[in-house]
């Protein structure tokens, strides 16, 4: 198999590889920025919701407490 002639490599292969690598790098950077923006938006949304709803507060009792001493 090694005795066979090697296939010809296109002359502009390195140029095409560099373009493709740059395109992939731009796409990954854009996706990373988009993911960070979504994460920040989710954190801000959660903070606003938590401030408005206050899920840590105890809900009011449905019945009134017994009054002693009357």
Residue 6 counted as domain residue: no
Q: What is the pLDDT of residues 56-67, one digit of tens each?
A: 888 877 887 777
Residue 18 counted as domain residue: yes
Question: Total structural domains in the chain?
Answer: 1
Residue entry with tokens 């009134």 = 64
Token pair in block for residue 11: 């002359």
- Cα separation, 65 vs 70, in Å, equals 14
- Cα separation, 51 vs 7, in Å, equals 67
Residue 33 counted as domain residue: yes
Angle at the Cα of 61 (from 46 to 45), degrees rounded to 5? 5
Residue 4 counted as domain residue: no
Instruction: Report the predicted TM-score, pTM, of the whole model to 2 decimal places.
Output: 0.67
Residue 29 counted as domain residue: yes
Give the residue numbers spanning the domain of 46: 13-54
Residue 46 counted as domain residue: yes
Residue 44 counted as domain residue: yes
Q: Is the per-residue pLDDT at 22 higher than 90?
A: yes
């Amino acid at each position: 198999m090694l005795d066979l002639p090697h296939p010809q490599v296109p002359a502009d292969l390195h140029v095409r590889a560099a373009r493709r690598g740059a395109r992939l790098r731009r796409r990954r950077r854009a996706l990373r920025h988009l993911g960070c923006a979504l994460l920040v938006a989710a954190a801000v949304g959660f903070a606003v919701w938590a401030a408005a709803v206050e899920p840590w507060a105890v809900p009011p009792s449905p019945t009134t407490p017994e009054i002693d001493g009357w």
